[in-house]
Structure 1
Amino acid sequence: MKKIIRYVAIILACLVLLVLSGAYFYLKNLNPGYGQNSENQSSSLDTPKPAKHEPVNILILGIDGINKTDKGRSDTLMLLTYNPDLKKATLISIPRDTRIKLDRYGYQKINAAYTYENEQGSMKAVSDLLDIPIHYYVKIDYQGFIKLVDDIGGVKVNVPLQMDYDDDAGNLHIHLKMGEQVLNGEQALGLVRWRKGYVDQDLGRIKTQQLFVKAFIDKLTSPAAVLNAQKILKTINEYVETNMTPSEALSYVDDALKVGKNIKMYTLPGEPKYIDGISYYVMDEEQAKELLQEVNVENNDKNSDLQNGALDAIKKYGLDPSGIKIEVLNGGAPPNSATEVGNMLKDYGFDVKRISNISGTEYSSTQIINRTDNTDIGKMLSEVIGDSVIINDPDPSLGVDVTVIVGKNYKQ
């Protein structure tokens, strides 16, 4: 049964953002006052917290303990990264045999970090291995998966083939008929664990897991699931452990629901090797660096530079952002671009009065239209937003100081 956690963790890791935000959502529905004082809560581990617009890195730990008194091992390690600016989430699986060097224990397999120093040891090991900050951890076990499926009333999926397997010693029994059906927790566990009979072998199994993930998320976010809020909350509290506070989880709620079905999955590049008679998985450092760049894990410095540049511009012109009224319009940029720019300006303290679209006209470049006689306002906003054209066209009748038209060049 220990290997079950590998497959369960893949599914649950894809749902971490949903589960974390869901915990707050269900708590909020059960107790309207929940979270109001959560700023006073602190994480259980002393870890760095991401700044606004900075990617957040969450380490997923799948523990193979058979009960609550069994500490178990980190049989599965995965890095979930969410980029709030790009609205992207990616998942990198880290093989448990990955070779690392621990400060006090020498060369070890990465799953030993949890054995020696619990969650904090695993977070440090992954941070040192990939040279990135790990902001949060989430620890799960396969029993939580079974419970969640049962709590939401099962999940309807199309089982791709007949599945029959019995292992009395391991107390594992899988009996599923081919075709569409509603699976309970134990049956769903069998589905995602099944490996035999696929024409394309592991690729077939992965496709089945992804099919289940989509069906699970659809059911978890359905109105019917809210009716089981108390059960779901109890399961989350009992089986999901994290150092993320409720208020921190709340900050990712809206985006979690949007990206939950579109998480890209990768495996840490490397190859198996025997070193001193021990089988390891040795990371390919160059390929790993390229992968991290691809999934935007390493753009923390870039985001920090952008944020610092905006703050420097506001400071340079000596203007109070709260006194500058702005309207943001989408003039041909990708959908939701005006909302992103508007939210960014709100974060910097500007008074964003409205966000809307322009119909029938597309602008190749973002425009900052200054409606006042103070030309510094246009200059400052151009530096805050970047790559834009300044137009001075005073018009106090519009009720705003600046019109920002987000053009097609946004984020290009």
Structure 2
Amino acid sequence: MNTAPQEPLPPRERHFSHSGKLKRIILTLLACLLIGGGLYGWYALHQAKTTFSKTYHALPTKPNDLALTSGKPFAVLLMGTDTGALGRHSVGRTDTMIIATINPKRQTAKLTSIPRDTLVDVYGSQQDDEKINAALPLYGPETAIKTVEHLVNIPIHYYVLINMGGLEKMINAVGGVDVVPPLTFHYEQANVKKNQKIHLNGASALAYSRMRDDDPLGDYGRQIRQRQIIKQLVLKEAGLSSVAHYQRVLGSLKDNMQTNLTFQDLLWLRTKYGHTSRHVQSATLQGKPAVINGIDYQIAPQTTIDQVSKDLRKALGLPVNVQFQTDALDPTGE
């Protein structure tokens, strides 16, 4: 056996050998990071799905599964209750009701506010002269949806009900929102000046969206600020690229939200329709103050209701002068 010592590699050959080993180490580390990142991403999504599944509450009339994936316009009723924060825990009336219409082809979204004191006939109720914000606590989300459908003559397939505690946590989860206030005021944690951009955390954004007594426009002014917060919140959420951040946002909704949108629906909306959040229009069903039996109401003239209905139906790509039937609704519009 030849036991003579091997000659060392020439300097250039030794360099290439070390370089190849270094590349293999780097590639191995990258592979481990990719696999680990994939596993973490899967775990985070699984956890987010588990968390979000607790918010799912189907309606008796389930939307067609193609309602979102068909690419046709659709509407979501956003409802907010003043519970879950500030020590309030009872099932309250809907302080916020906003119809969100999304048109994927036009890449637009429209937020139409309905004043909480709007006088309506609550769907299925024998009682006249009722405020629209009573529909949810009296009869549940399906009745609230049908009441709004009949008021403005459009089909609404989805709803999202969130309390103020959930809104506060969700805003914190995305790192706060930036707004340009339409007026100067100081209310609870909100201290803002007109036309001066300000960054709001969850508590200050909640106060910003709740104040109405010091607003010259009253509840209508509050609706403007509510739509500001929602728009900025959606923009911030759409910009989140990290799975961990997205998981944190969904986690903030635990026990604070109820919806008939599934987790898959939510991912689809975020992936396919996220761009519409940059083209958001705002509107309000404007009423006139009235007192009936000692109770304050907002009564929207029929001409105003008709105009809002036409605008909403156009946004949804529906014939303007056709009366729709909620009980014979095809979510795909076919």
- Coarse TM-score class (shorter-chain normalised): 0.5 to 0.7
Q: Deviations over 1:254-290 (max 9, x none)?
A: 4431111322111114322334554322232233223
Q: How many residues align?
A: 266
Q: Is 1:185–2:205 an aligned residue pair? A: no
Separation (CA, whole Å) in 2 of partners of 1:195 and 1:135: 30
The unaligned stretches of length 5 or more in structure 2 are: 1-39, 50-55, 321-334
Aligned to 2:101: 81
2:125 partner amino acid:
R
SS of residue in 1 equivalent to 2:110:
strand
Separation (CA, whole Å) in 2 of partners of 1:269 and 1:181: 28
Separation (CA, whole Å) in 1 of partners of 2:294 and 2:218: 30
Separation (CA, whole Å) in 2 of partners of 1:45 and 1:207: 29
Separation (CA, whole Å) in 1 of partners of 2:227 and 2:125: 39
Partners of 1:152 and 1:228 within 8 A in 2: yes
In the TM superposition, residue 151 of structure 1 has moved relative to its aligned partner by 1.8
Aligned to 1:244: 261
Partners of 1:139 and 1:241 within 8 A in 2: yes
Aligned to 1:343: none
The unaligned stretches of length 5 or more in structure 1 are: 1-25, 36-41, 166-171, 303-412
Aligned to 1:106: 127
Aligned to 2:53: none
Larger C-alpha radius of gyration, 1 or 2?
2
Q: Deviations over 1:376-401 (max 9, x none)?
A: xxxxxxxxxxxxxxxxxxxxxxxxxx
Task: Select the residue among 82, 90, 97 that pairs with 1:64.
Answer: 82
Aligned to 1:229: 246
Aligned to 1:91: 111
In the TM superposition, residue 29 of structure 1 has moved relative to its aligned partner by 7.3
Separation (CA, whole Å) in 2 of partners of 1:215 and 1:276: 40
SS of residue in 1 equivalent to 2:98:
strand
SS of residue in 2 equivalent to 1:90:
strand
Greater relative contact order, per chain length (Cα 8 Å cut-off, separation 6+): 2
Q: Per the alignment, do residues 184 and 276 of structure 1 end up closer, same or farther by CA in structure 2, a change over 3 Å counting?
A: closer
In the TM superposition, residue 164 of structure 1 has moved relative to its aligned partner by 4.1
Separation (CA, whole Å) in 2 of partners of 1:206 and 1:105: 29
Q: Per the alignment, do residues 59 and 197 of structure 1 end up closer, same or farther by CA in structure 2, a change over 3 Å counting?
A: closer
CA RMSD of aligned residues (A): 4.1
Partners of 2:102 and 2:276 within 8 A in 1: no
Partners of 2:75 and 2:155 within 8 A in 1: yes
Partners of 1:47 and 1:134 within 8 A in 2: no
Separation (CA, whole Å) in 2 of partners of 1:117 and 1:281: 21
Q: Is 1:46–2:66 an aligned residue pair? A: no
SS of residue in 2 equivalent to 1:106:
coil
1:106 partner amino acid:
Q
Separation (CA, whole Å) in 1 of partners of 2:289 and 2:182: 31
In the TM superposition, residue 234 of structure 1 has moved relative to its aligned partner by 0.6
Aligned to 2:10: none
Q: Per the alignment, do residues 241 and 196 of structure 1 end up closer, same or farther by CA in structure 2, a change over 3 Å counting?
A: closer
